[in-house]
């Protein structure tokens, strides 16, 4: 069995406590990893703090930091097949997704920020008045804790890590204890890239055991969190003890609006992708689809027919279109949502069951599921399921479509499908979500800021704004009066 160690202060560290890692396709143990105790958390923060305060990393020239980022990108590409295979085995993502999306996109995160961050970082000089000028200077935030979820383990970690390192920070990263393997391989790549000791520390462990120590420590300047609202709230509490800078990328209950002028095949195919990719375990999953009256019946019929043809299979099979959910607990959660939805009047059109095929029986598979007639007050309409379950409801006017889309505590993303681009652009302004996709879904560009409104969190990831989250802005005011005697000198100038 493969063994993985934590990475602290530039060294692989053997821990007393260990954890078995399961393959969600088979339910079998595939690896054994170390788990950080509180003393290893302390060691990781100590080494990140020392690397920031006394080390060379924040002082390197931008060109030198860029060189390291490009080496990490190359390291990921050199190990792409190994990373794709381990990411699929650990997370249940079909190998086609990890091979063509997760791993190359992770490498690209390092490459794009390496090529861009210099243009994001310029200082600004402002002549405030004749008497004063100011220099606004971007500095690294300091020691940054990065906490990532299990649904895109390497990709989300790479977004955060690439931006944090480019800005000159030192970091402690904590993957989900369900999916630490790809990040522990990244540790090897980082070591081979020759980053100074302590700049990147990767510790695995249960959030409920080590989360508070990580997020409340005085020596940590910032926490960048992606995950659930429940844990986000806990981190807000922990970090309040010593007041930290935070970014929170939380959950969603995103709405897709399909207008009747849209080509139905395109709308159905794209909508399938917008909910069933990654088994529906996407923060931006379009879990509420609203279809204009007139095409509702045809759309729903075609959608269900195609959903039933999605090929479930083991994550390491290139033919697989949908893998298992991350865990048995996650599958139970999805089933509980469906039971409640049915009790609240929703009608199940397809799915809703654990597949019986012999090769899938030990994994955490669940059929693609469609429900209609969903009451807007019901739990399944309001809460994030995070699984392959979609609501399809009807709307009869543009006003109703906007109202339904905005009827959520979340505000992460939304899709609009119509040939009428002026209508789409008008709706895009009225929908209360941080990202709006018009006639497309899931297009993340490293150049564009991404992040939610309302309870989907605050702060941005990616783009100039996302990068600047990992910096702090210093204002240096310089007096320019000829004899250097500003007003304050005279106030008590006895
Ligand atoms: P989660 O909140 O359970 O876990 C996220 C991370 O927090 C993991 O590393 C976990 O170990 C850690 N954690 C758990 N308890 C903690 C604690 N008390 N203190 C500190 N850390 C703790 O989320 P998940 O189940 O891994 O991921 C699914 C959730 O993530 C969904 O709600 C999804 O919408 C959200 N998500 C959001 C985005 C986004 O960009 N908005 C992207 C991906 C996932």
Residue 468 sits in the same domain as residue 377: no
pLDDT over 80 (residue 197): yes
pLDDT digit string, tens, across residues 356-391: 999 999 999 999 999 999 999 999 999 999 999 999
Share of the chain above pLDDT 70, in %: 99
**Range of weakest confidence among 18-27, 116-125, 484-493:** 484-493
Report how far residue 216's alpha carbon sits from residue 173's, in angstroms, rounded to the nearest whole number: 15
Q: Whose CA is nearest to atom 14 of ligand 1?
A: 207
- Nearest to 470, CA basis, from 106, 199, 221: 221
- Domain membership of residue 491 (yes or no) is no
pLDDT tier for residue 426 given thresholds of 50, 70 and 90 = very high
235 lines ligand 1 (CB under 6 A): yes
Domain that holds residue 395: 255-438
Q: Please, are residues 32 and 2 in contact by the beta-carbon 8 Å criterion?
A: yes
Residue 67 sits in the same domain as residue 165: yes
- Domain membership of residue 492 (yes or no) is no
User: Coil, helix or strand for 13?
Assistant: strand
Residue 229 sits in the same domain as residue 350: no
- Domain membership of residue 451 (yes or no) is no
Residue 141 sits in the same domain as residue 276: no
- Domain membership of residue 446 (yes or no) is no
Residue 313 sits in the same domain as residue 233: no
Mean pLDDT of 162-188: 98
Question: Which whole-number Å values give the CA distances from 271 to 65, 76, 152, in the listed order?
Answer: 41, 31, 20
249 lines ligand 1 (CB under 6 A): yes
- Domain membership of residue 245 (yes or no) is yes
Residue 228 sits in the same domain as residue 260: no
Q: For residue 36, which phi and psi values (nearest 5 degrees)? A: -75, 135
Report how far residue 346's alpha carbon sits from residue 376's, in angstroms, rounded to the nearest whole number: 10
pTM above 0.95, yes or no: yes
Residue 246 sits in the same domain as residue 259: no
Residue 173 sits in the same domain as residue 123: yes
pLDDT tier for residue 5 given thresholds of 50, 70 and 90 = very high
pLDDT reported for residue 490: 75
283 lines ligand 1 (CB under 6 A): yes
For residue 57, what is the DSSP state?
G
Residue 37 sits in the same domain as residue 170: yes
Q: Which residue among 249, 292, 394, 469 is the active-site one?
A: 249
- Domain membership of residue 482 (yes or no) is no
Residue 187 sits in the same domain as residue 278: no
pLDDT digit string, tens, across residues 36-46: 999 999 999 99
pLDDT reported for residue 93: 98
Residue 345 sits in the same domain as residue 468: no
pLDDT over 90 (residue 487): no
Report how far residue 58's alpha carbon sits from residue 221's, in angstroms, rounded to the nearest whole number: 14
Q: Is 283 designated active site?
A: yes
pLDDT over 70 (residue 486): no
Q: Whose CA is nearest to atom 9 of ligand 1?
A: 176
Mean pLDDT of 421-450: 97
Report how far residue 2's alpha carbon sits from residue 94's, in angstroms, rounded to the nearest whole number: 21
Residue 196 sits in the same domain as residue 275: no
Q: Which residue among 79, 215, 283, 415 is the active-site one?
A: 283
280 lines ligand 1 (CB under 6 A): no
pLDDT reported for residue 433: 98
* Neighbour tally for 206: CB within 10 Å: 14
pLDDT over 80 (residue 485): no
148, 149, 161, 386: residue to mutate for ligand 1 pocket, most atoms within 8 A of CB: 149
Per-residue HEC secondary structure of 334-368 comes to HHHHHHHHHHCCCEEEECCCCCCCHHHCCCCCCCC
Task: Kindly state the helix (H) or strand (E) to which residue 147 belongs, with its residue range.
Answer: strand 143-147
- Nearest to 430, CA basis, from 446, 453, 449: 453
pLDDT over 80 (residue 314): yes
pLDDT over 90 (residue 119): yes
pLDDT reported for residue 17: 95
pLDDT over 80 (residue 493): no
Q: Residue 425: which CATH number? A: 3.40.309.10
pLDDT over 80 (residue 489): no
Domains: count for the chain: 2
Q: Please, are residues 192 and 221 in contact by the beta-carbon 8 Å criterion?
A: no
- Domain membership of residue 487 (yes or no) is no
Share of the chain above pLDDT 90, in %: 95
Cα 467 versus chain centre, distance: 14
What tokens appear for 214 in the block? 């990580």
Average pLDDT score over the chain: 97
């Amino acid at each position: 069995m493969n063994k993985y160690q934590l990475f602290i202060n530039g060294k692989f560290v053997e821990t007393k406590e260990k954890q078995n890692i399961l393959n969600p396709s088979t339910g079998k143990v595939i690896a054994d990893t170390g788990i950080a105790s509180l003393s290893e958390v302390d060691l990781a923060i100590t080494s990140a703090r020392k690397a920031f305060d006394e080390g060379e990393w924040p002082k390197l020239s931008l060109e030198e930091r860029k060189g390291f980022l490009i080496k990490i990108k190359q390291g990921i590409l050199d190990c792409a097949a190994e990373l794709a295979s381990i990411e699929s085995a650990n997370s249940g993502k079909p190998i086609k997704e990890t091979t063509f999306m997760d791993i190359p996109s992770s490498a690209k995160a390092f490459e794009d920020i390496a090529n861009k961050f210099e243009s994001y970082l310029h200082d600004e000089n402002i002549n405030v008045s004749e008497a004063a000028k100011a220099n606004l200077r971007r500095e690294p935030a300091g020691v940054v804790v990065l906490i990532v979820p299990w649904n895109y383990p390497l990709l989300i970690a790479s977004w955060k890590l690439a931006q944090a390192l480019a800005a000159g920070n030192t970091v402690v990263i904590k993957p989900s204890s369900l999916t630490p393997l790809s990040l522990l391989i990244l540790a090897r790549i980082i070591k081979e890239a020759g980053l100074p000791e302590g700049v990147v520390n990767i510790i695995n462990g249960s959030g409920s055991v080590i989360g508070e120590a990580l997020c409340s420590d005085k020596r940590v300047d910032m926490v960048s969190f992606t995950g659930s609202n429940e844990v986000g709230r806990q981190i807000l509490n922990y970090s309040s003890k010593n007041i930290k800078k935070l970014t929170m990328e939380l959950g969603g209950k995103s709405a897709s609006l399909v207008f009747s002028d849209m080509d139905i095949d395109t709308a159905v195919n794209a909508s399938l992708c917008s909910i069933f990719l990654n088994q529906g375990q996407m923060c931006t999953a379009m879990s509420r689809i609203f279809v204009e009256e007139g095409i509702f019946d045809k759309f729903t019929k075609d959608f269900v027919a195609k959903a039933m043809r999605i090929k479930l299979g083991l994550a390491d099979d290139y033919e697989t279109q949908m893998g298992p959910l991350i865990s048995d607990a996650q599958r139970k959660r999805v089933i509980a949502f469906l039971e409640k939805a049915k009790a609240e009047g929703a009608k199940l059109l397809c799915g809703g069951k654990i597949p019986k095929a012999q090769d899938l029986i030990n994994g955490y598979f669940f059929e693609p599921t469609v429900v209609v007639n969903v009451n807007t007050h019901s739990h399944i309409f309001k809460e994030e399921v995070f699984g392959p379950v979609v609501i399809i409801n009807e709307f009869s006017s543009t006003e109703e479509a906007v109202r339904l889309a905005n009827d959520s505590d979340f505000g992460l993303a939304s899709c609009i499908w119509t040939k009428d681009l002026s209508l789409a652009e008008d709706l895009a302004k009225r929908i209360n979500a941080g990202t709006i996709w018009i006639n497309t879904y899931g297009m993340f560009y490293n150049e564009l800021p991404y992040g939610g409104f309302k309870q989907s969190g605050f702060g941005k990831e990616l783009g100039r704004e996302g990068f600047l989250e990992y910096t702090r802005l210093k204002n240096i005011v310089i007096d320019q009066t000829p004899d250097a005697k500003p007003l304050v000198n005279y106030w008590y100038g006895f």
